[in-house]
């Protein structure tokens, strides 16, 4: 039935594969943190057991194991025990079953480390900051980088000779070095911009002009710390793609035909852009994971730090919640690119029409 509808067939086929990928990813996300030797309750005990005697610490540990569903519990709510009196641990498979049941109910669980805060609450509070920081930086960085890269490829000459090494230098600077340099120069030395935080120290987030103004002011340094490096990297990629495309027959032909420069540049840009577009989609997909380094340097709110501490503390529900979010957004981004490339890339389009997949 779908034979006559190659595009729909293509989308469904791709979609099926993405569903399989999603299930595999969720399973791996669940089991991977549990493979290590460290146990989340031991880490919590490290912080609450100071000053407690051995018996009191044991008592407390068991109440956490039970609270977090890491031990088996009998009908009347008591911990089931092994012959030597140690609590009987719930197996990973049992936990996985519980996890899937909860996921289907839309419940991501309660964070161990931020107990009794819900994982969903942590994500809802952090994601707006992450998107606000990442989306514009990635988009602007991509656009500016690609335009400059295409220009450099096309014009070469002095512009390229200055631009290319500069872009190379900037894009090879590690984020943290560049971020720290920005803080040192623009905040500590010049005092133009605040060194840390997402908004002023005397504000509480609200829908007010004051708050948004302050947030924008605090946005400047973190924005540039990512934007410039990203743009530099994109420009280098676009430049080499552009130079490659310049050597192709169609550009030479267009030049012989005497087409106007912007027109040629537009052709060039469109073709050189394809791999860049894939890169853009991937970075948009993974942006939800947060800009960890930027968050750390600027003490900026976001999901990156939440995820790092979750991983450091084996906070299973938090890791699962974050990775689920990242998985979904990466898959959606990839799916979108797949579909877009299908429409944009004449080669893929031709393949589709000839009945390929």
Map the footprint of another protein across residues 154-173, applying CB under 8 A. 154-155
Positions in 319-348 near another protein (CB under 8 A): none
Q: How far is the CB of 83 from another protein (least distance, A)?
A: 15
Which of 109, 179, 198, 289 lies at the binding interface for another protein (CB under 8 A)? 198
Minimum Å gap between C-beta 122 and another protein is 7
**Residue 126 within binding range of another protein, rule CB under 8 A:** yes
**Choice from 116, 247, 258, 346 touching another protein (CB under 8 A):** 116
Whether the CB-CB separation of 177 and 293 falls below 8 Å is answered with: no
In order of 251, 277, 302, 345, the CA distances from 271 in angstroms are 11, 10, 35, 8
Residue 131 in contact with residue 287, Cβ under 8 Å?
Answer: yes
Q: Applying CB under 8 A, does 306 fall inside the site for another protein?
A: yes
DSSP string of 251-297, one letter each residue = HHHHHHTT--HHHHHHHHHHHHHHHHHHHHHHHHHHGGG--HHHHHH
Q: Which of 151, 182, 241, 273 binds another protein (CB under 8 A)?
A: 151
Q: Which is nearer to another protein, 174 or 356 (CB)?
A: 174
The answer to the question of residue 301 lying near another protein (CB under 8 A) is yes
Binding another protein (rule: CB under 8 A), the pick from 147, 254, 331, 348 is: 147
114 token code pair: 């931020």
User: According to CB under 8 A, which one of 98, 248, 299, 353 is a site residue for another protein?
Assistant: 299
Q: Which of 333, 307, 334, 302 is nearest to 320 (CA)?
A: 307
Query: Applying CB under 8 A, does 115 fall inside the site for another protein?
Result: yes
| Residues 54-73 within binding reach of another protein (CB under 8 A) | 54-61, 63, 67
Binding segment for another protein (CB under 8 A), chosen from 100-108, 110-118, 238-246, 279-287, is 110-118
Among 3, 4, 35, 50, binds another protein (CB under 8 A): 50
Q: How far apart are the first and last CA of the chain?
A: 15
Site for another protein in 265-294 (CB under 8 A): 265
Site track for another protein across 220-239, x = CB under 8 A: x-------------------
Applying CB under 8 A, does 132 fall inside the site for another protein? Answer: no
| DSSP single-letter state for residue 188 | I
Binding-site member from 199, 269, 316, 335 for another protein (CB under 8 A): 199
Torsion-angle region of residue 85: left (phi > 0), alpha (psi -120 to 50) or beta?
Answer: left
User: Within a 13 Å sphere around the CA of 89, how many CA atoms are in the beta-carbon half?
Assistant: 7
By CB under 8 A, residue 19 contacts another protein: no
Q: Which two tokens stand for residue 348?
A: 């893929």
The answer to whether residue 51 forms part of the interface with another protein (CB under 8 A) is: yes
Size of the site for another protein (CB under 8 A): 79
**Both structure tokens of 66:** 């039970």
What 167-171 contacts at long range (C-beta under 8 Å, 24+ apart), as own/partner pairs, is 167/231, 167/232, 167/233, 167/235, 167/236, 167/239, 168/232, 168/236, 169/232, 170/228, 170/229, 170/231, 170/232, 171/229, 171/230, 171/232, 171/233, 171/235, 171/236
Applying CB under 8 A, which part among 6-14, 44-52, 95-103, 344-352 lies near another protein? 44-52
């Amino acid at each position: 039935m779908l034979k006559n509808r190659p595009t729909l067939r293509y989308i469904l086929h791709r979609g099926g594969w993405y569903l399989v990928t999603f299930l595999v990813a969720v399973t791996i996300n669940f089991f991977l943190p549990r493979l290590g030797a460290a146990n989340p309750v031991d880490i919590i005990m490290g912080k609450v057991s100071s000053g407690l005697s051995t018996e009191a610490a044991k008592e407390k540990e068991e109440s956490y194991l039970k609270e977090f569903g890491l031990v088996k519990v009998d009908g009347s709510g008591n911990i089931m025990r092994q012959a030597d009196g140690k609590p009987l641990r719930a197996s990973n498979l049992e936990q996985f079953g519980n996890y899937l049941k909860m996921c289907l109910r839309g419940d991501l669980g309660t964070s161990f480390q931020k107990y009794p805060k819900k994982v969903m609450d942590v994500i809802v509070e952090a994601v707006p900051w992450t998107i606000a920081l990442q989306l514009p930086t990635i988009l602007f960085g991509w656009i500016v980088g690609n335009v400059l890269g295409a220009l450099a490829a096309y014009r070469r000459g002095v512009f390229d000779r200055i631009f290319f090494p500069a872009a190379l230098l900037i894009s090879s600077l590690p984020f943290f070095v560049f971020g720290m340099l920005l803080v040192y120069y623009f905040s500590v030395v010049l005092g133009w911009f605040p060194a840390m935080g997402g908004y002023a120290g005397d504000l509480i987030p609200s829908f007010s002009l004051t708050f948004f103004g302050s947030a924008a002011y605090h946005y400047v340094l973190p924005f540039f710390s990512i934007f410039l490096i990203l743009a530099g990297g994109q420009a280098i990629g676009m430049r080499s793609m552009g130079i490659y495309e310049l050597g192709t027959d169609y550009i030479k032909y267009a030049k012989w035909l005497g087409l106007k420069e912007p027109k040629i540049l537009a052709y060039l840009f469109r073709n050189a852009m394809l791999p860049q577009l894939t890169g853009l989609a991937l970075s948009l997909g993974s942006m939800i994971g947060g800009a960890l380094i930027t968050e750390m340097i600027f003490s900026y709110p976001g999901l990156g730090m939440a995820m790092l501490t979750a991983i450091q503390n084996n906070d299973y529900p938090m890791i699962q919640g974050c990775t689920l979010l990242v998985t979904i957004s990466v898959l959606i981004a990839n799916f979108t690119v797949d579909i877009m490339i299908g429409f944009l890339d004449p080669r893929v389009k031709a393949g589709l029409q000839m009945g390929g997949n």
